[in-house]
A and B are shown apart, each in its own frame.
Chain A
Amino acid sequence: MLSALFIAMLTAITVWWLLIQRLKDKPWLKQGVVPTSQETVTSSAPKVGLWVFLAVVSSLFGLFASAYMMRVGGHGGLVTWQALDEPSVLWINTLVLVLASGAMQVARNRIDADDFTGGRSYFLTAGLLTVVFLAGQIFAWQQARAGGNLGPGSPAYAFFVLLTAVHGLHLIGGLWVLGRTTARIFRVDANSVVARSRLRLSVQLCTTYWHWLLLIWLGVFALLLST
């Protein structure tokens, strides 16, 4: 159901977008050069590429969430769902990821204002906080296992580890890009307009990615808490 809603939302966005792209045109009647999207577009290919990728990531988590909810709901006359006591450390982890996202935003603002030294510190702080978050998630796995009566055979525990692990893997991918961008911040030629603009773009992309993964984590956490 969740996935169907997600797809419906994306479809609505697509149809709306197609409509504003003059899809009502009668191309057989018009000749000559007409303004294309290139002449009015403000975004760039990497930004569009990232948003397409985030749609794929969202679809992935939406489907995991759908599977989770179907299982919790006793789909197909299954045995009763044994809920997991969510480890308390997840609250701290959530706060850490919020801070990471915030630090990333400050870094972006600083670098947009050509303050590379300040931006660098916040950028690295965001990375560090993300590493802390990931370590906290691993601790949460242990806490859940130690505190509850649920083993690996338990669907609740397995779903918990799976959802957090897939989210963590996406963050690790982000950290790899963050590492490369950090190296670029250190060697940026502040006099080069092109280099500054490329760096800004990289930081903007990282920021978008971090915010989005924070939103996904909040969704996953809410889902876990709701059962």
Chain B
Amino acid sequence: MAYVAIADRDHPMHDPQTWIEKYVWSQDHKVIAIQYGSVAIGVGLVALALSLLMRLQIGFPDTFPFITPYNYYQFVTMHGMIMVIYLLTALFLGGFGNYLIPLMCGARDMVFPYLNMLSFWVYLLSVIVLLASFFVPGGPTGGGWTLYPPQTVLEGTPGHDWGILLMLLSLAIFIVAFTMGGLNYVTTVLQARCRGMTLMRMPLSVWGIFVATILGLLAFPALLVAAIMMILDRLIGTSFFMPAIMSLGEIAETDGGSPVLFQHLFWFFGHPEVYIVALPAFGIVSDLLSTHARKNIFGYRMMVWAIVAIGALSFIVWAHHMYVSGMNPYFGFFFATTTLIIAIPTAIKVYNWVLTLWRADIQINIPNLFAIGFIFTFVHGGLTGLFLGNVTVDLPLSDTYFVIGHFHMVMGVSPVMVLFGAIYHWFPKISGKMPNQTLGYIHFWMTFLGTYAIYLPMHYIGILGMPRRYYAYGTTDFIPESAHAVNEAITIAAIVVAVAQLIFLVNVFYSLRKGKQAPDNPWGATTLEWQTPQTPPVHGNWGPKLPVVYRWAYDYSVPGEPKDFIPQNEPPKGHHSLANS
């Protein structure tokens, strides 16, 4: 073989020689995955804390003097951007992508391990630059996570001087990091699958991550283009996005730029970004459901095609985020139509998950609870998306809490449910220890019920007309007193959910230290990562010989078989194993 990732191991493969090489400048995809995951969860906790500060202000206005309108908008902006980019994208692709692709494909590592290592360190740099904006004069940007010009760069907006620059710089650095990682994920899937692992034998987790990475590689450049142009507008006075405008009573020097152009660029990235997060979640949840329901995934081929179709369609729906910006009605019609069309492959996936569970031997354990919980939250978030995809319904609802409820259910809570399910599912393989069951159950129920308590009422107050983005509502006729009471309840629920995440962290650290030793394959799973000679897998993953794959990833409860699962690398009856030949 021409490259080490799929070669039988007759020579060392960037083996670490020192502690630093093993745990810091590591080129091992598993270590890089853990590095990505740790940083993403760490920065995600910052975003979680920011959301609590926002909720405290909304639930109990005039109570916390340290939450000013100025920093309220900074909290909103940083919470949104961190959660979407630096937590979800990084954890799904940098974390699970790194861990799962080589192991599930039967490779020793990514095909470009050095680039993979660089990807993590550049990602860390982007996080540091982003967090540095909390410590610069003026603080971080408060222009909203969509960073719309002109207000983002005009005086009067929080962080209009340093904050916005650091945000844009950090995004540009993140995109460089993502590109380095993404090249690895795509090329490894295409070039480093072990013998017998055809594309149609790949687990759906790999399919989801693979297609999401392609989306990211094509969509992130739009954000990069927007970021570069806005940096130039802010720094040297170009007018890409900045129109002729009065700012604080004075005529600004800019002239001729188009703020709507920024919106197009942002959402040309922004909508695929939804699926960059969702597709890995779709793939992983399919594997969790199949494994823990002891049944093959229903409609595997349809699931693969649905992932591909959703990925392609995600590029032609972006302007449904811009109905209120004022567009040609024919454009609105076009984008509403494409938005509704994308519901078809998505619905196929939902039906297939439910049909996978139908008459299955459903195991009630923590990963499966999170997976099933995902189906609920995703259906709820998806159905409200149908409302907002229609121009006429979107216009009155767009600036209300209905939208907050919708997108948090569909791309906040749902992917996070999958992330937790995935962490509990692969924790035994990653750490060699079993997670604590009791803490896990408490974590699940508090998170699942708690997030419903947060986001379901938001739909209601949104339909009442309660506007989003406001720092305080004061007394207005159209917002009844009961809506304020609902907001108080939402804030209390948010605190409960935040505490639940601390329980998760306690579980992780407790289980790492005191957890029971994990067997090699505690869930009886078929996919290759559970068939490694060691748990956790050592450097190079597979020992001297690579695995050989003989079957698809979903041979569960096959009639006539003694076990209720057949690993992918188990030869059919009458064949001898080729792994040692």
Residues in A lying within 8 Å of B, measured CB to CB = 3-4, 7, 10-11, 14-15, 18, 21-28, 30-34, 36-39, 41, 43-45, 48-49, 52-53, 55-56, 59-60, 63-64, 67, 70-71, 75-76, 78-79, 152-155, 158-159, 162, 166
- Leading 5 A-B pairs by shortest Cβ distance: A27-B552, A60-B221, A158-B238, A45-B111, A31-B572
9 inter-chain pairs at a CB distance below 8 angstroms, sorted by A residue, are: A14-B308, A28-B552, A33-B195, A36-B193, A36-B197, A36-B198, A37-B199, A75-B258, A153-B237
A4 → B minimal CB distance (Å):
6
Q: Would you call A22 and B200 a contact (CB within 8 A)?
A: yes
With beta carbons under 8 angstroms apart, the residue of B3, B193, B198 that contacts A44 is B3
Of B191, B217, B238, B239, which contacts A56 at CB under 8 A?
B217
Contact in complex: B255, A45 (CB < 8 Å): no
A-chain residues with CB within 8 Å of residue B236 when the two chains form the complex: 152
Instruction: Please give me the residue from chain A that is nearest to B548 by CB atom.
Output: A33
Q: State the CA gap A171–B351 with chains docked (Å).
A: 49
- Chain A residues within 8 Å of B315, by CB: 4, 7, 11
Task: Give CA–CA (A14, B189) in the complex, Å.
Answer: 14
Q: Knowing A22-B200, A155-B240 are in contact, say whether A55-B218 is a contact too (CB < 8 A).
A: yes
**A64 contacts which chain B residues (CB < 8 A)?**
225
B295 interfacial by beta-carbon distance below 8 Å: no
B1-38 Cβ-contact flags toward A at 8 Å (1 or 0): 11101100000000000000000000000000000000
Verify A78–B243 contact, CB threshold 8 A: yes
Q: How far is the CB of B17 from chain A (nearest CB, A)?
A: 23
> Which stretch (B75-83, B179-187, B370-378) binds chain A?
B179-187
The answer to whether the Cβ of B361 comes within 8 Å of any Cβ in the partner chain is: no
By the criterion of a CB under 8 Å from any partner CB, how many residues of chain B are at the interface? Answer: 75
- Does any Cβ of A come within 8 Å of B224's Cβ? yes
Given contact pairs A60-B225, A71-B261, A18 touches B308 in the complex (Cβ within 8 A): yes
Chain B positions 190 through 210: 1 when the CB is less than 8 Å from some CB of chain A, otherwise 0: 111111111111000000000
Q: B239, B256, B578: which has the most chain A beta carbons within 10 Å?
A: B256
Docked Cα-Cα span, A47 to B150, in Å, equals 42
Cα of A58 to Cα of B93 in the assembled complex, Å: 22
Q: Is B304 an interface residue (CB 8 A)?
A: yes
CB <8 Å contact, A45 and B5 = yes
Near A by CB (< 8 A), chain B positions 226-263 give 228-229, 232, 236-240, 243-244, 253-261
In the assembled complex, the Cα of A154 lies from the Cα of B550 at a distance in Å of 63
- Judge whether B268 is part of the interface by a CB distance below 8 angstroms: yes
CB < 8 Å neighbour of A158 from B197, B240, B578: B240
